[in-house]
Structures are given as structure tokens and as C-alpha cells.
């Protein structure tokens, strides 16, 4: 899926209490594993070294904080010129549906402006103001790996 720039609005419920931060500060494999397990998001949560690599090699990591609590996370792979790929988005279940996912998406769009943003999965409603298009010419060679 790709987007064209047209920023929408995030839910006021989330934006008043939630701080979006960029970078790896406070993003430990342990914290990420807890969030992914709860969300849930099927990732290698039992392997801290893999989780660390996934985050260190990401082009952009955005986190959502409610006070000192990590409640949401987004990871983007990007060449900074043509393409960005939002690969993982997760929000703590007790605060899902409050607009935190959308806040993270808007922050990703802002930082990836000028590139085509690709997204996998059923996240259409999170992008509903952004000119999202379904692409039919994308292909993938799935990795041969053991299930997480």
C-alpha cells in the first residue's frame, strides 16, 4: 500500500496524554517483548539479541509513552529517498482504540514525507486520511525460518 501526503487528525483522547518519541532511548528488548506479547504481535520475543538487532537496524523507531510507560511502538525501514516500509506497529491492549496507533502513523508519515510508504497487513483504517492505495503488484519471497 502507498500513500500520498494529506495529514489527518488523531484522536484527542490519545494526543493529550501520550508523548511520541523518536529513537532507541528506553527501548529495551525486554520492554519490546512485553509489548509485542501483549499486543499481540508475532515477533521473536524470546530472543533479545534478535529484537535488539531489529531495532538497531531500523531506520526509524517511534515510541508512544504514557508517563513512564511504553504503550506503543512503530518500526520503519527506509532509504530516505524513495521508499519507506512500516514494518511493525503495536499498542498495549488496554489503551488500544484510543488513537495511539493513529498518532504513531501520523508521526511516521511526517518523518517519511517524500517517500512512498509501504504497509503490510490490515491497517487501512489507520491510514484513512492519507490517500492509501492497495497495490496489486507487490511480491514477497517469504524467509525460510522457524516460527517465533
Which positions lie near ligand COA, rule CB under 6 A? 39, 41, 88-91, 96-102, 121-123, 125-126
> Smallest gap, in angstroms, from Cβ of residue 99 to ligand COA?
4
Least Å distance, CB 6 to ligand COA, is: 16
In the complex, least distance from residue 46 CB atom to ligand COA, rounded to whole angstroms: 18
Could you identify the residue written with the cell 515510541? 63
Q: Which residue is nearest to ligand COA (CB)?
A: 101
Give the residue with the Cβ less far from ligand COA, 2 or 96: 96
Pick between residue 81 and residue 116 the one whose CB is nearest to ligand COA.
116
Q: Name, in order, each residue with C-beta under 8 angstroms of 3's C-beta and a sequence gap of 6 or more.
A: 109, 116, 117, 127, 130, 131, 132, 133
Q: How far apart are the first and last CA of the chain?
A: 26
To the nearest whole angstrom, how small is the minimum distance from the Cβ of residue 75 to ligand COA? Answer: 9
Cell of 93: 491492549
Nearer CB in complex with ligand COA: 43/81:
43
Cα 143 to Cα 139: distance, rounded to the nearest angstrom? 13
Query: What residues have CB less than 8 Å from 13, skipping those under 6 apart?
Result: 98, 99
Amino acid at each position: 500500500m502507498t500513500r500520498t501526503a494529506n495529514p489527518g487528525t488523531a484522536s484527542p483522547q490519545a494526543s493529550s496524554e501520550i508523548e511520541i518519541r523518536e529513537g532507541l532511548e528506553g527501548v529495551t528488548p525486554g520492554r519490546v517483548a512485553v509489548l509485542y506479547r501483549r499486543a499481540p504481535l508475532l515477533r521473536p520475543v524470546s530472543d533479545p539479541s534478535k529484537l535488539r538487532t531489529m531495532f538497531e537496524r531500523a531506520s526509524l523507531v517511534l515510541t508512544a509513552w504514557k508517563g513512564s510507560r511504553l504503550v506503543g511502538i512503530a518500526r520503519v525501514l527506509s532509504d530516505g529517498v524513495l521508499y519507506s516500509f512500516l514494518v511493525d506497529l503495536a499498542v498495549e491492549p488496554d489503551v488500544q482504540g484510543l488513537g495511539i496507533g493513529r498518532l504513531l502513523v501520523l508521526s511516521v508519515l511526517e518523518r517519511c514525507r517524500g517517500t512512498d510508504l509501504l504497509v503490510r497487513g490490515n491497517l487501512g483504517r489507520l491510514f484513512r486520511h492519507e490517500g492509501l492505495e492497495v497495490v496489486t503488484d507487490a511480491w514477497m519471497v517469504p524467509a525460510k525460518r522457524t516460527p517465533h
